Chain A
Amino acid sequence: MSPAGGIFFHLGASHHTAPLALREKLALTPEKTAVLGARLGAAGELREWAVLSTCNRVEFYGVAGSPAAIDRLQAEFCALLECSPVDFAGAARRTFGLEALRHLLVVAAGLDSQMLGETEIFGQVKESYAGALRRGTAGPVLNRAFQKTFQAAKFVRTHTAITEGQVSVASVAVDLALKIFGGLRTVRVLLLGAGEIGEKTARAFQSRGAEALTVASRRLERAMELAQALAAAALPFEHAPGRLAEFDIVLCATSAPGVVLTHDAVAAAMRRRPARPLFFIDLALPRDVEPTVAKLPNVFLYNLDDLAKIAEENRAARESEVGRAQALVAEKAGALWPRLEQLCRNIEVGAAAPSRSLASAR
Chain B
Amino acid sequence: MLSILTDRQWLWIAAGFYLAGFALGTMALLRERRHSRVLMYILIASGYGLQNAGLWLRGQAEHGCPLGNQFEIFQFTAWSATTLFLVIGATFRLSLLGYFTSALMAALTVVSLAIPEWDATHRANVFGGNPWLEFHAALALFSYGVFALLALTSLLFLLRNYSLKNKRLGGWFSFLPSIIELDQISLRLLAAGVVLLTASLVVGSVWWLRDPPGSVHMVAVTIAVWLAYAIALGLRLRGALIAQRFAWVCTALFVAALVSLDTVDHGSHPAPAARAISN
Partner of A317, one of B170, B242, B243: B170
Q: Which residues of B contact A297 (CB under 8 A)?
A: 242-245
| Interface flag for B181 (CB, 8 Å) | yes
Chain A's closest residue to B179 (CB) is: A180
Which of B14-22, B123-131, B159-167, B213-221 faces chain A? Answer: B159-167
Q: Is the CB of B183 within 8 A of A179?
A: no
Q: Is the CB of A179 within 8 A of B170?
A: no
Chain B's closest residue to A179 (CB) is: B178
Number of residues from B at the complex interface, CB < 8 A: 21
Known: A176-B164, A274-B242, A298-B243. A182 touches B181 (CB 8 A): yes
Complex alpha-carbon distance, A182 and B179, angstroms: 8
Q: Which residues of A contact B167 (CB under 8 A)?
A: 302, 306, 309-310
Q: Which residues of A contact B30 (CB under 8 A)?
A: none
Interface string of A315-332 (1 = CB under 8 A from B): 001000000000000000
Q: Is the CB of A300 within 8 A of B164?
A: yes
Partner of A181, one of B174, B179, B245: B179
Interface string of B153-175 (1 = CB under 8 A from A): 00000001000110101100010
Q: Is the CB of B169 within 8 A of A275?
A: no
Complex alpha-carbon distance, A165 and B170, angstroms: 9
**What's the least CB distance linking A126 to chain B, in Å?**
26
Q: Is the CB of A275 within 8 A of B183?
A: yes
Number of residues from A at the complex interface, CB < 8 A: 22
Complex alpha-carbon distance, A180 and B177, angstroms: 8
| Interface flag for A313 (CB, 8 Å) | yes
Q: Is the CB of B179 within 8 A of A179?
A: yes
| Interface flag for B273 (CB, 8 Å) | no
Within 8 A of B (CB), among A274-322: 274-277, 294, 297-298, 300, 302, 306, 309-310, 313, 317
Partner of B239, one of A182, A274, A313: A274
**What's the least CB distance linking B154 to chain A, in Å?**
15
Most chain B CB atoms below 10 A, which of A181, A297, A310: A297
| Interface flag for B180 (CB, 8 Å) | yes
Known: A275-B183, A310-B169, A313-B170. A180 touches B242 (CB 8 A): no
| Interface flag for A178 (CB, 8 Å) | yes
Q: Is the CB of B178 within 8 A of A182?
A: yes
**What's the least CB distance linking B42 to chain A, in Å?**
20
Complex alpha-carbon distance, A22 and B9, angstroms: 74
**What's the least CB distance linking B169 to chain A, in Å?**
6
Q: Is the CB of A180 within 8 A of B178?
A: yes
Q: Is the CB of B243 within 8 A of A179?
A: no
Complex alpha-carbon distance, A297 and B160, angstroms: 13
Ranked 7 nearest A-B pairs via Cβ: A182-B178, A274-B239, A297-B243, A298-B243, A182-B181, A180-B179, A275-B242
Q: What is the interface of chain A, defined by CB distance below 8 A to chain B?
A: 164-165, 176, 178-182, 274-277, 294, 297-298, 300, 302, 306, 309-310, 313, 317
Q: What are 13 sample pairs from A and B whose C-beta atoms fall under 8 A apart?
A: A176-B164, A179-B164, A180-B178, A181-B178, A182-B178, A275-B236, A297-B243, A297-B245, A298-B242, A298-B243, A300-B165, A309-B167, A317-B170
- Besides the known contacts A179-B169, A274-B239, 14 further A-B residue pairs in the complex with CB atoms under 8 A apart: A179-B164, A179-B179, A181-B180, A275-B236, A275-B243, A277-B179, A297-B242, A297-B243, A297-B244, A298-B242, A298-B243, A300-B164, A300-B165, A309-B167
